[in-house]
Amino acid sequence: MTSSERTEHLVLPGVLDAAEVAQTVAGIAAVQRDDGAIPWFRGHHLDPWDHTEAAMALDAAGEHARAEAAYEWLRRHQLPDGSWYAAYADGDAARPADRGRETNFCAYPAVGVWHHYLATGDEAFLRRMWPVVQGAVDFVLRLQQPGGQVGWKREPADGEVLTDALLTGSSSVHHALRCALAAAGRLGEQQPGWELALGRLGHAIRRHPERFLEKDRFSMDWYYPVLGGAVTGPAATARIEREWDRFVVPGLGVRCVSDRPWVTGGESAELVLALWAAGDGDRALEVLRWLKHLRAEDGMYWTGYVFEDDAIWPAERTSWTAGALLLALAAVGGEEATGAVFGGAGLPRGLDPDCC
């Protein structure tokens, strides 16, 4: 299969042509270290969540060997308790930059592992990574609170659990638990405790906003319950509509924070995925087309744009922003693995207290 054939689903009129897709894929690949690590950009740190997001984009572009190398980095450097540190300087595992262990960061590799399996059909890979997924999920669920929400992190010094929960982070954990359970089902590994934990978490996200820290100024708290699969159907549509005018700047993208004149590429691309998952493909494509203004000459994407000042800020082009854009393209363009992971079809829903 030629390079253009591997990425033809990423070519969408008014968004990217084949040459532009190839340039963006090459840009992410250029950030990846020889050991598989994918920092934000060379010289900056790596965190497990954004590393995984970039790896998923490589898989969506047919760069399966590079994606597998990224997951192997996670396998080699997982800590004994199933976690990873929150940041590593330039992706160097010997140089942790933040020894906190965040539940959202530790859960997300399960999404990437399941995505890689769906993209490649490589069951040997899935079996090799199963202990990694199992260890990470068990670490995360040790921080789940009685109300179903997931505590934010373990502190680096004494391992103290920060029991406060973030809606965005818990919604991402919800997505990861569904993918982890899909992997468990494929391998014949029964995980009834995970099913119960997933159901309790989804119930908390849908029914109990008071169990999460108040962060509704941030657009991620708006769309992540939809993106993470906890809120679906008419409720998802209603949630998107309720805050659309507050966060969306037509022609530019999505504000990171509702009261700041700053749109960001990562949040905009994730909103595309949430819109697509909610069945609103037309608006998903429209938002994707807006993001051309954040594209740099090298094919990567600027983190954000302050529209009141007509200024790019910060002056950085991250692997995960480009990665989120490619994943949004893959979903809208009909790539099966990405569609299955973000669309949620076939992913377990857990033992849902809402139904009883």
Q: Residue 174: which CATH number?
A: 1.50.10.20
| CB contact at 8 A, 169 and 143 | no
Q: How confident is the model at residue 345 (pLDDT cuts 50, 70, 90)?
A: confident
Q: Specify the pLDDT at position 101.
A: 98
**What range does the domain containing 131 cover?**
15-355
Rg (CA), the chain: 19
- CA dist 49 and 60 (Å) reads 17
Q: Which residues contact 216 (CB under 8 A, 6 or more apart)?
A: 222, 258
Task: Give the pTM.
Answer: 0.97
Is 30 domain-assigned?
A: yes
Is 329 domain-assigned?
A: yes
Q: How confident is the model at residue 157 (pLDDT cuts 50, 70, 90)?
A: confident
Q: Specify the pLDDT at position 6.
A: 74
For tokens 């159907």, what's the residue? 233
Q: Specify the pLDDT at position 268.
A: 98
* Residue 228 dihedral angles phi and psi, to the nearest 5°: -80, 0
Q: Specify the pLDDT at position 170.
A: 98
Is 10 domain-assigned?
A: no
Is 3 domain-assigned?
A: no
Q: How confident is the model at residue 8 (pLDDT cuts 50, 70, 90)?
A: confident
Is residue 301 over pLDDT 60? yes
Is 5 domain-assigned?
A: no
Is 4 domain-assigned?
A: no
Q: Which residues contact 65 (CB under 8 A, 6 or more apart)?
A: none
In tens, the pLDDT along 10-46 reads 999 999 999 999 999 999 999 999 999 999 999 999 9
Q: Specify the pLDDT at position 215.
A: 97
Instruction: Tell me the average pLDDT across 311-328.
Output: 98
Q: How confident is the model at residue 159 (pLDDT cuts 50, 70, 90)?
A: confident
Average pLDDT, the chain: 96
Q: Greater confidence, 3 or 156?
A: 156
User: What sign results for the dihedral spanned by CA atoms 56, 161, 151, 196?
Assistant: positive
Is 6 domain-assigned?
A: no
Joined together, the tokens standing for residue 63 give 């760069």
Name the domain count of the chain.
1
Joined together, the tokens standing for residue 234 give 């008419």
Q: Specify the pLDDT at position 352.
A: 74
**Three-class SS state of 334:** coil
Q: Specify the pLDDT at position 151.
A: 98
Is 302 domain-assigned?
A: yes
Q: Which residues contact 340 (CB under 8 A, 6 or more apart)?
A: 118, 346, 347
Is residue 356 over pLDDT 60? no
Q: Specify the pLDDT at position 252.
A: 98
- CA dist 117 and 120 (Å) reads 5
Is residue 65 over pLDDT 70? yes
Instruction: Tell me the average pLDDT across 273-293.
Output: 98
Is residue 119 over pLDDT 70? yes
